[in-house]
């Protein structure tokens, strides 16, 4: 193991990790928005939108991210839409993640008793108020494990970004292997980089899950 | 005659005309008509599946009706889609399963309607909620979560939550069905107090003695129709229809035991 090599090239990994995280954050944030909209369209059975979102979810979940990225990167310019590498990566991640988030949110919404919504209706809340104060907090608490799993999954999926010429973690590792044949060192640093990013996020997820187990926002007590 | 009656003619709080409701082709409510006057307590009894819960659910639009008309103080409310929430603010409802919001403490459960639906200030709504909790003996539970309460306590909170909206009418749907006798007593005493205070109520229940105690009028339903209607004393002492007599027929376990060949 060449520790000097590892020491020398760690800054490259740090920089790549920064890029990976920035794109992941943007893509995941967008996927939350897309997921929430799709899930609401499906939960409230909005005509037409419901079928469109259903088709989108099947398309996004049953094609690899790499293929989706190629489509954005090489396909869209043919119809005059030109996105940067970063733009493609964010869009690709949001496209894939939106479908997964929609399903995670839906599982949460489905888990809320129908009578809870009726109780809100009986209090004379508007639909929007009922969603905000009754439905959503309870659905979110149930969805947290699935949402956390999706976040981690999406961060890992960023490893295909090198295919659209983005200098992400995977790209740096492949680059170093190609230039110096330091396979062991390059891959070890890659594994450590991913673990450094993902282990804290996993821990955060577990903590949130414990805290929201009873949908008791702000009231968590040991029972 | 006209003069004598004139002072007493009041618009009913609730009026239902020829209500019909079916699920998947089977008729659950068959031509129901009834009126409930100001401060009146109407108790609806009948065998399971006779349509009494569905009747309550139709009143506040939880179930769409097939035909017929429902009026709340002169305003037609059936089939209303727009501003249905405004109608529901005037119709309180309490369910068998309490349906408190599990992610909010008792006080937040009570404040949600008055603050969000009615737009009252927190200070104002809190003061009233605290007073109401005190009346039902739950002052110390204001900051407990629903899962920390007994069934009877939950149901009392649910009743308070509905009454804090100051509804024109309160619908109670088998609110004691999931409770043990002790809890039934504490919940029913709250309802009796409400009746004394003049709350207009439509109550579905299987507690016959409670029905007799609280009702101004009893409706006996079977097969989606109102079969018999009467004052509670008269109804329970000597029901007119054979169906109601059969429903109310009390028995002793000795009789039953003798009936079973050993």
Residue B92 reports pLDDT greater than 80? yes
- Domain enclosing residue B174, as ranges: 2-259
Are B35 and B15 contacting, i.e. CB atoms less than 8 angstroms apart? yes
| A138 in contact with B, Cβ within 8 Å | yes
Measured between CB atoms, which of B62, B86, B161 is closest to A118? B62
Residues of A with Cβ-Cβ distance to B165 under 8 angstroms: 123-124
Are B222 and B201 contacting, i.e. CB atoms less than 8 angstroms apart? no
Residues of A with Cβ-Cβ distance to B93 under 8 angstroms: 122
Query: With helix as H, strand as E and coil as C, how does A26-82 read?
Result: HHHHHHHHHHHHHHHHHHCCCCCHHHHHHHHHHHHHCCCHHHHHHHHHHHHHHHCCC
B136 vs B133, B193, B213, CA distance in Å? 5, 10, 19
Helix (H) or strand (E) holding B203: strand B201-204
Measured between CB atoms, which of B62, B85, B102 is closest to A124? B85
Distance, in Å, from the CA atom of B150 to the CA atom of A223, rounded to the nearest integer, reads: 15
Distance, in Å, from the CA atom of B129 to the CA atom of B145, rounded to the nearest integer, reads: 16
Helix (H) or strand (E) holding B142: none
Q: What CATH number is attached to the domain comprising B206? A: 3.40.50.300
Q: Which has the minimum average pLDDT: A97-111, B2-16, B191-205?
A: B2-16
| The total number of residues written for chain B in this structure | 262
Residues of A with Cβ-Cβ distance to B88 under 8 angstroms: 121-124
Domain count, chain B: 1
Residue B7 reports pLDDT greater than 80? no
* CATH class held by domain A3-211: mainly alpha
pLDDT band at B258 (very low <50, low <70, confident <90, very high): confident
Distance, in Å, from the CA atom of A98 to the CA atom of B34, rounded to the nearest integer, reads: 51
Secondary structure of residue B48 in the 3-state scheme: coil
Region B183-205: mean pLDDT is 95
Q: Is there a contact between A125 and B117 if contact means CB atoms under 8 Å apart?
A: yes
Per-residue confidence (pLDDT) for residue B81, from 0 to 100: 85
Taking only the tens place, the pLDDT of each residue in A142-178 is 898 999 999 999 999 999 998 888 889 999 999 999 9
Report domain extents, chain A: 3-211
pLDDT tens for chain A, residues 1 to 223 = 889 999 999 999 999 999 999 999 999 999 999 999 999 899 888 999 999 999 999 999 999 999 999 999 999 999 988 889 999 999 999 999 999 999 999 999 999 999 999 999 999 999 999 999 999 888 888 898 999 999 999 999 999 998 888 889 999 999 999 999 999 999 999 999 999 999 999 999 888 888 876 554 444 443 3
Task: Identify the residue with better confidence: A163 or B132.
Answer: B132
pLDDT band at B260 (very low <50, low <70, confident <90, very high): low
Token pair, residue A139, equals 């659905």
Q: Which has the minimum average pLDDT: A163-172, B13-22, B101-110, B159-168?
A: A163-172
Are A2 and A182 contacting, i.e. CB atoms less than 8 angstroms apart? yes
| The total number of residues written for chain A in this structure | 223
Closest alpha carbon to A191 in A170, A208, A177? A170
- Which chain A residue is nearest to residue B143, measuring alpha carbons? A219
């Amino acid at each position: 193991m060449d520790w000097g090599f590892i020491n020398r090239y760690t800054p490259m990994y740090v920089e790549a990790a920064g890029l990976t995280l920035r794109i992941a954050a943007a893509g995941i944030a967008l996927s939350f928005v897309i997921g929430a909209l799709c899930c609401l369209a499906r939960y409230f059975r909005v005509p037409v939108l419901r079928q469109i979102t259903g088709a989108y979810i099947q398309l996004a979940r049953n094609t690899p991210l790499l293929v989706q990225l190629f489509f954005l990167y090489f396909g869209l310019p043919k119809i005059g839409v030109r996105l940067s590498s970063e733009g493609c990566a964010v869009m690709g991640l949001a496209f894939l993640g939106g479908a997964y988030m929609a399903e995670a949110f839906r599982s949460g919404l489905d888990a809320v008793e129908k009578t809870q919504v009726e109780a809100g209706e009986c209090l004379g809340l508007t639909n929007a108020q009922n969603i905000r104060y009754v439905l959503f907090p309870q659905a979110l608490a149930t969805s947290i494990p699935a949402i956390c799993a999706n976040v981690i999954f999406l961060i890992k999926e960023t490893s295909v970004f090198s295919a659209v010429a983005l200098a992400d973690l995977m790209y740096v590792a492949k680059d170093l292997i190609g230039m110096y044949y330091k396979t062991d060192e390059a891959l070890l640093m890659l594994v450590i980089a991913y673990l450094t990013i993902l282990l804290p996020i996993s821990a955060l997820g577990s903590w949130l899950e414990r805290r929201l187990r009873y949908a008791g926002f702000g009231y968590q007590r040991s029972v | 005659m006209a003069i004598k009656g004139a002072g007493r003619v009041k618009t009913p709080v609730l009026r239902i005309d020829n209500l019909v409701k079916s699920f998947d082709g089977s008729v659950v409510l068959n031509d129901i008509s009834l009126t409930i006057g100001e401060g009146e307590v109407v108790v609806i009894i009948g065998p399971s599946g006779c349509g009494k819960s569905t009747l309550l659910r139709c009143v506040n639009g939880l179930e769409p009706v097939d035909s017929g008309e429902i009026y709340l103080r002169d305003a037609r409310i059936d089939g209303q889609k727009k501003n249905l929430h405004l109608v529901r603010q005037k119709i309180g409802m309490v369910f068998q399963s309490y349906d408190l919001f599990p992610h909010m403490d008792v006080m937040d459960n009570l404040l949600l309607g008055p603050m969000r639906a009615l737009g009252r200030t927190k200070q104002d709504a809190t003061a009233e909620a605290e007073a109401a909790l005190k009346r039902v003996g739950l002052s110390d539970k204001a900051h407990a979560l629903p899962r920390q309460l007994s069934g009877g306590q939950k149901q009392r909170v649910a009743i308070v939550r509905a009454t804090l909206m100051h509804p024109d009418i309160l619908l109670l749907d088998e609110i004691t069905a999931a409770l043990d006798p002790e809890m039934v007593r504490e919940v029913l005493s709250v309802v009796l107090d409400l009746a004394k205070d003049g709350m207009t109520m439509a109550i579905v229940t299987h507690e016959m003695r409670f029905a007799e105690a609280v009702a101004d009028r009893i409706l006996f339903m079977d097969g989606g129709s109102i079969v018999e209607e009467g004052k509670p004393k008269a109804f329970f002492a000597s029901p007119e229809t054979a169906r109601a007599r059969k429903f109310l027929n009390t028995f002793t376990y000795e009789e039953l035991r003798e009936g079973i060949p050993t």
